[in-house]
Amino acid sequence: MSELERQIDELAEILRTGPRIAVLTGAGISAESGIPTFRGKDGLWREFRAEELATPQAFFGNPGLVWQWYDWRRGIIGAKEPHAGHYVLARWERHFPDFVLITQNVDGFHRRAGSRNVLELHGNIWEIRCTREGTIAENTECPFREIPPHCPSCGALLRPNVVWFGESLPSETLEEATAASATCEVMFVIGTSAYVQPAASLPVIAAERGAKVVEINPEPTPLSSTADFSFQAKAGEILPLIDERLLAGRTGT
């Protein structure tokens, strides 16, 4: 038996006891769907500077540029599909009695894969918000007819309903995510560089409260050395392997 198989067996054994589970995902879980990540090889920030695009100052300074970037990303996301890893997490939501999925992603892929209860910490790229009235609407127009788009009711600028640097995360969502992290027994951390706060603190909270931390990421992160299980591989490969093992049962093959 390889070391990978041994680790997966050990983890599946823990999962079969039906522990409380929290999952934190980042851009890496959608990488195998063809969505660029932010940092690292082929990351979005290599071509674009974050402070030029993902801050309120950037948006109000040059809304056309920022909207072009979001329009381009919406085009990519709209043309791609969730993969096996997203589907495994959707299945686990129905399988485990206490399962919370927390994502930093704005692409909506977890919902598209069938997850119902998703805590979206950084918002959703398919929602737009009026910068004057604060009203939020679902919007799938792609490409936009007019960039930057304006509110049909009051004429003010519309913005993507996402969280930029220096902005607060939706407070209720963050509270629920923090509570789930503090009370889970197993926390999966999948496809995040664990760099951006406050999301990066959630696995630390879980570990401090005694949860087993399971990281899935081809590259090492600040969490890797302290994680109980560190799978340095792709989410779309490892999640189905764990799921298969889980379904195979104690003595199954």
Active site members: 122
Site for ligand BJW (CB under 6 A): which residue of 234, 241, 245, 246?
A: 234
Query: Token digits for 18?
Result: 């039906």
Radius of gyration (Cα) for the chain, nearest Å?
19
Does position 230 bind ligand BJW by CB under 6 A? no
Site for ligand BJW in 181-200 (CB under 6 A): 190-193, 195-198
Q: How far apart are CA 213 and CA 15, in angstroms?
A: 12
Measured from the CB atom, the residue of 93 and 161 that comes closer to ligand BJW is 161
Are the C-beta atoms of 192 and 209 separated by less than 8 Å?
no
- Residue 213: helix, strand or coil by DSSP? strand
Tell whether residue 54 is a contact of ligand BJW (CB under 6 A).
yes
Q: Residue 20 has which token pair?
A: 């409380």
Among 116, 133, 165, 175, binds ligand BJW (CB under 6 A): 165
**Chosen residue from 21, 23, 88, 104 binding ligand BJW by CB under 6 A:** 104
Neighbours of 225 (CB within 10 A): 9
Query: Rounded CA gap, 129 and 146, in Å?
Result: 16
Told to check if 33 binds ligand BJW by CB under 6 A, we report no
Q: Report the interface residues with ligand BJW, using CB under 6 A.
A: 26-29, 31-32, 37-40, 43, 54, 104, 106, 122, 162-169, 190-193, 195-198, 216-219, 221, 234-235
